[in-house]
Structure 1
């Protein structure tokens, strides 16, 4: 196998691995919602946008006859739909990151997983010179950096007037 083939295989494997990791990162949110019977600290929008993205990629995979795209996005669409249904079951109201000035409502693991998956698919599309893969994944990189910025901006900081514990 030539060097380009090995690199393509490794990149393809990274895309599948990071994408399945991203899809399964919602399992911790699912467990939290079921245990607490609430949606505290869980955001709805990532589930919805990822599900729409999966369905779009599933269509593209079917159109192109790409088994990898079909399998990965079928798994993703099923998981995201499950997360949405559980969220809707337990959701009495919506929480706002900006209003509360707290990033506790974002999933850090989902943010990192989305960044890795989006970046790897963007590189994969770039390597294949396929804008249908590259372009739709680029917003995932941008939104991940926005969420990372929100984590940084609204991270929990100790109060300035807190006293040190006496030992």
Structure 2
């Protein structure tokens, strides 16, 4: 029985390594775009810095344990890949984005991770140290899994799945399942519990994808409405305001024109705002008549 459980644990750990490795490779198309355009444009470095911090944290936790070698292997690979991503980003990022990324690296990797290692080494010993680091890993993993809530909100609001890649969602869901069973079989709930949340959010993302994948994005309609409002505002601004002097079309002054002018204009059509004008009679007539309105 024990041997069977050990085999299952090894199987889920290996599958977890494979799926997690695929997740680590998911941003490659993004960085290929960056390479082609020689610019990071609107992309952010935060996901990769957070990914590096998470991998380092799990390695530290695994080193305090005695039976989680597969946790060390995949997170070591993760540290290497995320470091490459960050270096690539810094190389192509504009100065402002580069400085913001460096600040985040110092804050999270140097200060954050340094404090965790330093404080647990100084003020905790043995099993207690592993428990404290395990809880830190658990809380941080829960925060990482909660992060996609912003994406879910955007999908529901816009009725568009443009910014929710389904393949990545599937990979993250499978990864959560593998690591949940790996942690469960090991009896390590610091590994198992966060992946319950990861699996739940992954299922929700896939459900929303299939609900909204054929929907017309609401954002398009909103942009059209805003565009129409701008056009209307521009048309209103083009209408001259009447102050002390008003310029009024001659065709609008039927009751105010002299008889000799009216004879050349012709008569108005019934219930219309325009006149049937005789071009021959109006050859020398000005297009507008200016009326000075006193105060």
Both proteins in one fold, TM over 0.5: yes
Q: Which residue of 1 aligns with 2:193?
A: 135
TM-score by length of 1: 0.70
Distance 1:119 1:43 in 2: 28
Q: Which residue of 1 aligns with 2:203?
A: 145
Aligned to 2:61, the other structure's residue is in SS state: helix
Q: Which residue of 2 aligns with 1:73?
A: 75
Mapping 1:2-21, distance limit 5 Å: 2-21=3-22
Distance 1:141 1:48 in 2: 23
Where do 5+ consecutive residues of structure 2 fail to align? 98-149, 218-295
* Residue 121 of structure 2 corresponds to residue 120 of structure 1: no
More contact order relative to length (CA 8 Å, sep ≥ 6):
1
Q: Which moved more, 1:55-64 or 1:143-152?
A: 143-152
- Equivalent pair of 1:43/1:106 in contact (CA under 8 Å): no
Q: 1:6 deviation in Å?
A: 2.8
Q: Which residue of 2 aligns with 1:106?
A: 164
Where do 5+ consecutive residues of structure 1 fail to align? 160-167
Q: Which residue of 2 aligns with 1:25?
A: 26
Which deviations, in whole Å up to 9, do the C-alpha atoms of 1:63-118 show, x marking residues without a partner? 2254322221021122223334545644899xx85298343233332221111111
Which deviations, in whole Å up to 9, do the C-alpha atoms of 1:124-143 show, x marking residues without a partner? 11122211211233332233
- Equivalent pair of 1:42/1:106 in contact (CA under 8 Å): no
Size of the aligned set, in residue pairs, is 157
Q: Which moved more, 1:84-93 or 1:143-152?
A: 84-93
- The structure with the largest alpha-carbon Rg is 2
Q: Structure 2 vs 1, CA of residues 110 and 82 (structure 1 numbering), >3 Å: closer, same or farther? A: farther
- Equivalent pair of 1:103/1:155 in contact (CA under 8 Å): yes
- Root mean square deviation, CA, Å: 3.5
Distance 2:169 2:45 in 1: 14
Distance 1:10 1:68 in 2: 10
TM-score by length of 2: 0.44
Q: Structure 2 vs 1, CA of residues 138 and 56 (structure 1 numbering), >3 Å: closer, same or farther? A: farther
